[in-house]
């Protein structure tokens, strides 16, 4: 990626500040490596780990703590619900990351000791860090919906908003459902993970019903006042491709579920009884963010310095992905988390080297949603850092939507997935 001379220069530049930092001599063999620990191997964390290792080289030791044995992608997981992709299609190994210099520890980060700068692992042992990157994804507030916290209710109403066993469970329910049944999806208030995801899911389930259970219905119960993403494109799909199958209801703020009656209750809207009830519960930053004390907004999200993604509350801890309090018009998407990961990786290395971060980071987002098995639509945006407002702002005139669903973008969506998985995992 760079010529040999430049590589030597960068290596030298990288090493000198670390030597100063640790009080060691300049000779490479005597320089202690800086410890960077990354928690969470999703789109944000795996990317950050890979790029810290790539750009930091011998100057850093990178450890990724990941609970699951393999990566399962949330993007494309609605195609598993539609029946045109399998879970295997959207699952990737962490093994390639280890060949890129990342030590992958399959464990759960149980706690962060901010004073001693250590991450405690659930199965025992501590990981010391000079810089900690948390990409914890989301955890659900099951207790904010009456009746949802019990084991029985959680098994009966899978969220499938973390891909894997939840996705498989929801697919099994759809397969077992009678023809003429009702699938209902409950969407929490914004901001939530993946703004277009619930609407894409409605399309995929409707596509499946058209072929397998044509008398069945899809009911979208939105906790918001209108469709949150790609509104015109989804609305068109529901009134044309899935006419008579999909019904959209705004202002359905879920308050209670009744497992026995398979019924959802709302603040104002009428009760809904469904054969398959897919509840996406309200959610916030993953649990480890709470332990680290970096959740600062509404007991839900983590504010960061957008130049570095360092927590506004706790120094030396950077937070990425869906867990953060987003900038205006910044989606909680996998693509965006991948972008966060690179800005954070560069900033972490700059900080370890005693240098200022890149003062002009730029982020882009591209998100494909599948209307049918083959046809997709996109939303795209560019987010430039604004030094005055200390946030990212979308560039006027940039970004936008597809004109209409099309098969070419269906191909691009699949290619995007292959590319970004290679980018984050190697």
Q: Of all helices (H) and strands (E), which one includes residue 93? A: strand 91-93
Q: Which residues inside 72-131 make contact with another protein, applying CB under 8 A?
A: 100
Q: Which residues inside 154-173 make contact with another protein, applying CB under 8 A?
A: none
Our CB check for another protein shows the closer of 160 and 307 to be 307
Q: Is 19 in the site for another protein (CB under 8 A)?
A: no
Q: Is 389 in the site for another protein (CB under 8 A)?
A: no
Our CB check for another protein shows the closer of 117 and 342 to be 342
Q: Which residues contact 124 (CB under 8 A, 6 or more apart)?
A: none
Q: Are 250 and 258 in contact (CB under 8 A)?
A: no
Q: Which stretch binds another protein (CB under 8 A): 140-148, 197-205, 294-302, 394-402?
A: 394-402
Q: Tell me which of 346, 348, 352, 371 binds another protein, using CB under 8 A.
A: 346
Q: Is 405 in the site for another protein (CB under 8 A)?
A: no
3-state secondary structure of 112: strand
Q: Which stretch binds another protein (CB under 8 A): 56-64, 158-166, 300-308, 354-362?
A: 354-362
In this structure, the chain runs to a length of 426
CB of 315 to another protein, least distance (A): 22
- Distance separating alpha carbons of residues 409 and 375, to the nearest angstrom: 7
CB of 75 to another protein, least distance (A): 12
Q: Tell me which of 6, 116, 215, 273 binds another protein, using CB under 8 A.
A: 6
- Total binding residues for another protein by CB under 8 A? 53
Q: Are 336 and 363 in contact (CB under 8 A)?
A: yes
Q: Is 268 in the site for another protein (CB under 8 A)?
A: no
Our CB check for another protein shows the closer of 202 and 336 to be 336
CB of 335 to another protein, least distance (A): 6
Q: Are 245 and 208 in contact (CB under 8 A)?
A: no
- Distance separating alpha carbons of residues 423 and 5, to the nearest angstrom: 25
- In the numeric block, the tokens 């983590």 are attached to 302
Q: Tell me which of 171, 193, 265, 378 binds another protein, using CB under 8 A.
A: 378
Q: Tell me which of 9, 69, 176, 387 binds another protein, using CB under 8 A.
A: 9
Our CB check for another protein shows the closer of 176 and 415 to be 415
Whole-number Cα distances in Å, 116 to 23, 292, 312, 316: 19, 12, 19, 12
Beta partners for residue 119, in sequence order: 112, 127
Q: Is 416 in the site for another protein (CB under 8 A)?
A: yes
Q: Tell me which of 259, 350, 374, 391 binds another protein, using CB under 8 A.
A: 350
Q: Which stretch binds another protein (CB under 8 A): 81-89, 111-119, 283-291, 416-424?
A: 416-424
* Other beta carbons less than 10 A from residue 243's beta carbon: 10
3-state secondary structure of 183: strand
Q: Is 418 in the site for another protein (CB under 8 A)?
A: yes
Q: Is 232 in the site for another protein (CB under 8 A)?
A: no
Q: Is 308 in the site for another protein (CB under 8 A)?
A: no
Encoded tokens for 341: 């990961």
3-22 burial code (b ≥16 CB/10 A, e <16): eeeeeeeeeeebbebbbeee
Q: Is 415 in the site for another protein (CB under 8 A)?
A: yes
Nearest to 76 by CA among 417, 424, 382: 417
Whole-number Cα distances in Å, 307 to 97, 100, 317: 26, 26, 13
Q: Which class for 270: exposed (0-12), middle (13-18), buried (19 or more C-beta within 10 A)?
A: exposed
Q: Tell me which of 61, 73, 167, 338 binds another protein, using CB under 8 A.
A: 338
Our CB check for another protein shows the closer of 198 and 413 to be 413
Q: Given the rule CB under 8 A, which residues bind another protein?
A: 1-3, 6, 9-10, 12-14, 51, 54-55, 100, 335, 338-339, 342-343, 346, 350, 355, 358, 360-364, 366, 378, 380-384, 394-395, 397-400, 402, 408-409, 411-412, 414-416, 418-420, 422-423
């Amino acid at each position: 990626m760079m010529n040999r001379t430049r590589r030597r220069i960068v290596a030298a530049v990288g090493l000198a500040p670390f030597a100063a930092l640790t009080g060691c001599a300049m000779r490479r063999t005597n320089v202690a490596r800086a410890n960077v620990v990354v928690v969470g191997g999703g789109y944000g964390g795996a990317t950050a780990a890979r790029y810290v290792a790539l750009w930091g080289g011998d100057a850093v030791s990178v450890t990724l703590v990941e609970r699951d044995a393999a990566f399962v992608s949330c993007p494309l997981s609605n195609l598993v619900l539609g029946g045109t992709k399998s879970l295997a299609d959207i699952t990737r190994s962490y093994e390639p990351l280890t060949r890129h210099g990342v030590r992958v520890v399959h464990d759960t980060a149980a706690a962060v000791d901010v004073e001693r700068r250590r991450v405690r692992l659930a199965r025992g042992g501590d990981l010391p860090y000079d810089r900690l990157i948390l990409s914890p994804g989301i955890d659900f507030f099951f207790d904010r919906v009456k009746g949802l916290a019990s084991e029985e209710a959680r098994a009966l109403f899978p969220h499938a908003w973390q891909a894997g066993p939840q996705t498989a469970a929801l697919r099994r329910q759809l397969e077992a459902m009678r023809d003429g049944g009702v699938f209902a999806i409950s969407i929490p208030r914004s901001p939530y993970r993946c703004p277009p995801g619930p609407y894409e899911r409605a399309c995929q389930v409707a596509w499946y019903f058209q072929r397998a259970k044509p008398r069945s219905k899809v009911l979208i119960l939105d906790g918001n006042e209108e469709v949150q993403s790609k509104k015109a494109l989804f609305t068109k799909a529901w009134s044309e491709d899935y006419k008579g199958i999909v019904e959209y209801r705004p202002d359905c703020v879920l308050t209670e579920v009744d497992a026995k009656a398979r019924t959802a209750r709302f603040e104002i809207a009428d009760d809904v009884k469904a054969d398959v009830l897919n509840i996406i519960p309200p959610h916030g930053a993953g649990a480890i963010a709470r332990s680290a004390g970096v959740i600062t907004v509404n007991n839900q999200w983590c504010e960061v310095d957008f130049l570095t993604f360092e927590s506004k509350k706790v120094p030396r801890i950077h937070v990425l992905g869906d867990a953060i309090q987003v900038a205006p018009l910044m989606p909680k998407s996998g693509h965006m988390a991948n972008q966060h990961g690179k800005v954070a990786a560069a900033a972490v290395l700059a900080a370890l080297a005693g240098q200022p971060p890149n003062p002009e980071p730029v982020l882009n987002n591209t998100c494909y949603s599948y209307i049918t098995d083959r046809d997709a639509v996109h939303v795209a945006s560019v987010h430039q850092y604004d030094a005055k407002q200390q946030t990212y702002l979308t560039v006027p005139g940039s970004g936008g939507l597809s004109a209409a669903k099309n098969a070419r973008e269906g191909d691009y969506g699949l290619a995007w997935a292959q590319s970004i998985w290679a980018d984050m995992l190697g």
